[in-house]
Amino acid sequence: MINPLSYIDALQVRDVSFKSVRNALKNHDLPVSTGWQQTVAKIVPELKRKDTKGACAASLVLIHNEMTLYCDKVVKIYEVDTKVINLLINAMSKGFVDKGSVYTKGFPFPLTIEELLKAPLDIICAAQWDEKDRSNFMMCSKQYITEREELPGDSLDDDATKDFGVFDELIGIRRRPIQLYDVVSLLPDDGLIEIRLDGVKKFNADDISRRLRRIEQLVSQFAAKNIGAPDVLGTKLNFYPAIKKLYDTNDGVVGELGHVTDAAGIYREKMRHKSRDVRLDPYHHGGTVAVVDLNAYSISKHWPSPAGNGEPEISIPAHFSIASDKNPVIDILHVLNCTSQEDYDFVLNKVL
């Protein structure tokens, strides 16, 4: 039997936001503390008590699964006919999961560093997780991250010092692999397919785009071969119109806003405190009075979690040049700080 605390350990190993995990625990009425180990120490008694251990264990599994599905993702969404989605779910359920992969063997737990070093670079489907209104195909892969660390200037041995001299400071560079958990989610009732990508806070846009294109290729090739629908991901949603909708709607907090003016000014406004709204800043408000059309090209907005704890956020990122396009298209969202499907659906409905 799997120790329920293994699910919390897995989130820590994957460097999932502790703040989001803590909010999820609070939403399940579980005890929390100031760090991973301190929090685990507070949960242990709940797992030992006869009257709470069952509910506590179930909550830990659910928290792990929902954080894996919805926390801190880059999202791209495609409109697809409901009948095609149902055909694709049926086909993928039979043949999309790679049952022989090293990622599949211990899923959903991450590989050890030794296993990950030996794992292939390509993306595979490790499991199918079905929820009430959607089928999620869990995609695993590895990607290398570069870390820089300051070292004391006297870290070099005598021979190295003789060859290179004395340094006040040294910079160590380390490349290590991390395991990524991406999701292909099929929602037949809504006529949508979503691809949610891990690593939004660790990798740049180019790295994430390469992984996205590979997942699109895998799904499209599978659909072409198994249901005769090669262009299944051909119609992507455009989130550019949602920027104005988010700005104009008087809910939540706009924490960042990028916009341009007719006089060729480029502005990127960000509040120092998360609770402050750009729209209420006197400088911003004064500018909007003088400008006929606020030509926004990017926005970040957050709301109180419907579950009670946390502030799920939508970010529509783009370069200012998009504002001058005749038909601007932004097909990527960053969905951040979600602790559950409820959080995720709540903020996503703000842009759909």
Q: What percent of the chain has pLDDT over 90?
A: 74
Residue 62's pLDDT band, with cuts at 50, 70 and 90, is very high
Classify residue 33 by burial, with Cβ atoms within 10 Å: 0-12, 13-18, 19+: middle
CA–CA dist 17, 23 (Å, integer): 10
pLDDT at 282: 64
In this structure, are residues 335 and 69 in contact, taking their beta carbons and an 8 Å threshold? no
pLDDT single digits (tens) 298-342: 999 999 999 999 999 999 998 887 877 889 999 999 999 999 999
Give me the pLDDT at residue 65, please. Answer: 98
Give the tens place of pLDDT for each residue, 83-134. Answer: 999 999 999 999 999 999 999 999 999 999 999 999 998 999 999 999 999 9
- Please determine, for residue 41, whether its predicted confidence score (pLDDT) is greater than 70: yes
128 within 8 A of 100, measured Cβ to Cβ: no
| Beta carbons within 8 Å of 309's beta carbon, 6+ residues apart | 23, 24, 26, 27, 339
Residue 29 has pLDDT above 60, yes or no: yes
Across all residues in the chain, what is the average pLDDT? Answer: 91
What digits encode the pLDDT tens for the residues 144-167?
988 888 877 677 777 777 777 777
Residue-by-residue DSSP string for 101-141: SHHHHTTTSPPPHHHHHHS-SS-EEEEEEEETTEEEEEEEE
Neighbours of 299 (CB within 10 A): 25
pLDDT digits (tens, 9 = 90+) for 175-211: 899 999 999 999 999 999 999 999 998 898 999 999 9
Whether the predicted pLDDT of 39 surpasses 70 = yes
Sheet holding 253-260, edge to edge: 124-131, 134-152, 169-187, 192-197, 73-79, 333-336, 313-316, 295-302, 253-260, 266-270
Q: What average pLDDT score do residues 11-25 get?
A: 96
* 41, 42, 57, 171, 260 from 45: Cα distances, Å: 8, 6, 12, 43, 55
